[in-house]
Every structure is written in structure tokens, then in C-alpha cells.
Amino acid sequence: MLKLQGIIPPMITPLDNQRKVDEESARGLVNFMLESGVDGLFLLGTMGEGLALETSQQYRLVDIVLSEVAGNCPVLAGCSDSALKQTIKNARQLEQLGVDAVVVMQPAFFRMLSGSELEQYFLSVSQATALPVVIYNNPGLTGNKISLATMEKLIANPKFIGVKDSSSDFDYLTSLLALRDKTRKDFAIMQGDELAIAPALLVGADGVVPGIGSLAGRFVKKIYQAAQAKDRERALTLQLELNELFAGVYGPDVSDWLRGQKEALAYLGIIHNPATVYYQPLSEEKIDRVHVAVERWKEYLLGE
């Protein structure tokens, strides 16, 4: 069974001017991320604009990435859709394409689903595929919180191999760690909040799924290595430095989270185009802010 650990960034999806997958940029980005020392790739998440892409483009991206990765690291892919049947169809297609696991986020739009309803949703998807399933907990985007009681049931089910927790609730995260230790030690707890990578690792998280990881895999790897060495001071110092890069790329109100990272990658020549599906291009002032941040932390980003 696949064991999740280390750094598994949610890869951005490089697009061309027609908002189609840019194959050359995707291949270049994959290699840049592999060279940065990531332990896996997560495709079609929030940062990867999975729910904004045409289904055919989602599958095309996965096919391109799998061929470029060539088995050098695990590849996870999001299968979530607003319709359960399409989510299941996506999971089955991703299995055919050859990903190592599917990632499933709780349903969005229909808020305040009960614990049993959320449990049944995840079970329905898991039963439709032979692949292991990773739970993507994002209550802020979906409006549905997965209670600890529901999580305990899912953790006990061997079909589920881990959770990406993007709740930004550290009490919830530490409760998940306690549930893991109580219920199933091989279940991976992955932190999804970039601003709390070091604290999460230092208290026992198995790894991180950092949104900024397409750009800053090397930077995050430094934090991970410090935490693994139990060098608390260095891990926390690096976290504060990463937070400064985060502020420069994402902006003071974090509104530029996706287009800022794409602009940074384009500035470095790793992708051709910073286009996103929905967001308008950055203003010149914001572009300058991103470039300043990249130049400041270039050594950590490129390993120069």
C-alpha cells in the first residue's frame, strides 16, 4: 500500500492563451519539481484548477505528467466534481490512466451535510475504484466540515490512506494526529496550510501538501529536513522566511494565490504563460511585487 510522507505539492496546471494544458510547460514544471526533491505530485487540486478545467483537459494533464514522471515518484490526482456520478467516473478514468491514488474533497455547495452523509460520499467513491483514496479536507471552500467522529471511521477503513488537511485549524490537525496514533498508524496526516508547515511536522505530521510547492519545493524541503532532524529552531526560522515569500507571491490579502505563483514560475522561465481559467492578469504593480519576492528568495527556489 502506498505510504504518503514528505512533500507532495499540489502542482499548478500550466495553460496556454486558449486555457488549454500547455504540454511543454507541464513537462518542464514536472522536471523542475522532481529536481527540487518532492516526494510526490498532486494533480487537479485547488491550486491545479481541477474543478475549473474541462474534463478532457484534466485527463490530458494527468497523461502528460505520468509520462514525464515515469515512475520516479507517486502521482495523486483529484477526482472531485460537483456531481457524485462524475466524481466516480473521474476516479475510474484516473485509475485507467495509471495514477497511484485519487484525492477526494467533500462535496461543495450543498452545505452542512451530516456526518453520515459525508461518510457515505467518501465510501461511494472509494468503492468505485481499486485505487487508494486520499481525503482532501477543505471546509473553507466547501462549507462542509468533516467531524472528528466521521474522520475516525474513515481512518479505520483501509481504502483511505491519508488526509490533506486544509482546514487551517491546528487543534483539528493535532486531533487527527491523535486519531491516527489511536486508530491506524499507517494513515498519513498531511498538512495543507503553508503557514504552519514547521509546527505541523514538529508535532508529528507525516508530510505536507504546500500550495506554493510548485515554485518553492526546495524551500519547503529545507523545512522538512530540519523537522526530520528535530532541529526545531531552524525549522521555525525557515518557516518565517517562507511566510515572507508567501506574502510576496500571494499578496497581503492572499488574493493572488494562484496567479501570483504562476507569475513567479513564468518569471523564472519554468512555464511559458501565467494564465489561469478565471482570474484576470495581475496589475503591473503586483507583478513587480512578485518579481521582487522571487529575486529575494531565488537561491532557495533554484538551489543556486
Each residue's pLDDT tens digit, 92-109: 999 999 999 999 999 988
Separation CA 42–CA 63 (nearest Å): 13
Task: Please say if the pLDDT value at position 120 is more than 80.
Answer: yes
Separation CA 30–CA 217 (nearest Å): 11
Each residue's pLDDT tens digit, 226-282: 999 999 999 999 999 999 999 999 999 899 999 999 999 999 999 999 999 999 999
Separation CA 128–CA 98 (nearest Å): 15
| Secondary structure (3-state) at 6 | strand
Give the rounded distance of the alpha carbon of 62 from its chain centre. 15
Say what the pLDDT of residue 112 is.
85
**Confidence class of residue 110 from pLDDT cuts 50, 70 and 90?**
confident
Query: Which candidate, 222, 279, 236, places its Cα nearest to that of 255?
Result: 279
What is the mean pLDDT of the segment spanning 43-54? 96
Strand 75-78 to strand 6-7: parallel, antiparallel, or no bridges (unpaired)?
A: unpaired
Each residue's pLDDT tens digit, 183-229: 999 999 999 999 999 999 999 999 999 999 999 999 999 999 999 99
* pTM for the model: 0.96
Identify the CATH number of the domain defined by range 6-231. 3.20.20.70
| Secondary structure (3-state) at 35 | helix
